[in-house]
Amino acid sequence: MMVGRRMFVVGALGGATALYSGLDVRSEETMSPSAGNERPKFKVPANSCDAHFHIYDSRFPAAPNASLIPPDATMDAYLRLRERLGFERSVIVQPSTYGTDNSCMPSALEKLGARARGIAVVDTSVTDETLKQLDKAGVRGIRFNLGRVGATTVDMIEPLSRRSPSSDGIFSSTCRETISLPMPTL
């Protein structure tokens, strides 16, 4: 069965609902940064998606201006956690720790397989070739973390959104705190 955007979004919402509804979803094995030792008491629906997670791996250098450098949270640890929680699909999101260096993501997406996608961090200096390589690896969106000083700014949203290497366009994942975003023009 082909998984379309609608089914992907429904799965993501189901997974998010399960995680944020106050249910006990502790794992059987304690692992950083997850804690607990029991299997989840709630079985997530088929095709559920972990719609936002980060991989931290000290083999990849942090950006020079990184304000957050957490301990390792590797793909192997995530795969064990994902299996225990029951998610079938995943969306890996580039953390601010690495800035615009997305080199950790292609290998992570390869380990996750065809049922995973990525959200990268790029700025307006990104080459079309790099965008094509990220797209080929499974990246389908750009993250704009506007709540803290980082690699992206609000002024980059429009020019970057026009540069999708995919005929489906590009998804924008926007994080913000108290700033105002511009009103889109239709």
Mean pLDDT, the chain, rounded, equals: 77
Domain spans of the chain, in order of start: 5-175
Of the listed ranges 13-17, 135-139, 166-170, 171-175, the least confidently predicted one is 13-17
Q: Specify the pLDDT at position 153.
A: 82
Q: What are the Cα distances from residue 122, in Å, to 99, 145, 172?
A: 8, 11, 11
User: How far apart (Å, rounded) are the C-alpha atoms in residues 103 and 177?
Assistant: 27
Note the pLDDT of residue 98: 95
Q: What is the pTM of this model?
A: 0.72
pLDDT value at residue 170 = 62
CA distances from 5 to 8, 11, 26, 144, 168 (A): 5, 10, 29, 21, 10
Confidence of residue 24 (pLDDT cuts 50, 70, 90): very low
CATH class held by domain 5-175: alpha beta
Question: What residue has token string 């607990």?
Answer: 36
- Tell me, what's the pLDDT at 167? 58
Report pLDDT for 16: 43
Residue 15: what are its φ and ψ, rounded to 5°? -65, -45
pLDDT tens figures, 97-120 = 999 999 999 999 999 999 999 999
| pLDDT tens digits, one per residue of 44-77 | 999 999 999 999 999 999 999 888 899 999 999 9
pLDDT value at position 47?
Answer: 94
Q: Is the pLDDT of residue 181 over 60?
A: no
Q: Which of 85, 138, 86 is nearest to 112 (CA)?
A: 138
